[in-house]
């Protein structure tokens, strides 16, 4: 809480954007119903701006994520292309079209651009397990930002 207050005060007095506290949504849960299913999503833009949010639906769905700058991004995953389109409240738009799926965890990586910078996204119900196997702990790192992925671990 103090960190959040300090970032708001810093933004107020310096004109710099406040840094959003990023975390996974505990209400985002897998579901048997295709449209009620929720998968966690994290991302990193240019190794400095982190994103955390969710994807609603299976293979097709709506994306909502918050950036560490405080901007909110909404998007759509189109399975038949496969393609992700994002539009953020800070005016940035982007698309991701390169997908890889980890069969052991069912985590999906997507790569593309947001604005003029490279963006990587990771989504799925077990992204914590995916990151833990790769890096030894269920924490997503993007520049100075860390997101605890304990909610997305098998």
Per-residue pLDDT of the chain (154 residues; tens, 9 = 90+): 333 333 333 333 333 344 467 889 899 998 888 888 999 999 999 999 999 999 998 778 999 999 999 999 999 998 777 899 999 999 999 999 878 999 999 899 999 999 999 999 999 889 999 999 999 999 999 999 999 988 766 5
- What is the reported pTM? 0.83
Q: What is the predicted pLDDT for the residue at 127?
A: 93
Burial of residue 26 (number of CB atoms within 10 Å: 0-12, 13-18, 19+): exposed
Q: Are 61 and 124 in contact (CB under 8 A)?
A: no
* All domains of the chain in start order, with CATH: 22-152 (2.40.128)
d(CA 28, CA 18): 25
Query: Among 71, 53, 58, 73, which residue's Cα sits nearest to residue 127?
Result: 53
């Amino acid at each position: 809480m103090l960190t959040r207050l300090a970032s708001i005060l810093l933004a107020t007095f310096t004109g710099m954007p406040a840094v959003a506290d990023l975390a996974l949504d505990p209400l985002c849960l897998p579901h048997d119903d295709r449209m009620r299913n929720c998968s966690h999503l994290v991302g990193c833009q240019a190794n400095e701006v982190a994103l955390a949010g969710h994807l609603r639906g299976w293979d097709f769905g709506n994306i909502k994520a918050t950036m560490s700058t405080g901007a909110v991004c909404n998007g759509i995953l189109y399975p038949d292309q496969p393609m992700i389109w994002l539009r953020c409240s800070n005016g940035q738009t982007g698309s991701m079209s390169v997908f890889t799926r980890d069969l052991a965890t069912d985590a999906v990586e997507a790569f593309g651009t947001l604005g003029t910078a490279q963006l990587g996204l990771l989504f799925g119900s077990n992204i914590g397990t995916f990151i833990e196997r790769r890096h030894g702990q269920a924490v997503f790192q993007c520049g100075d930002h860390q997101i605890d992925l304990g909610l997305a671990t098998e």
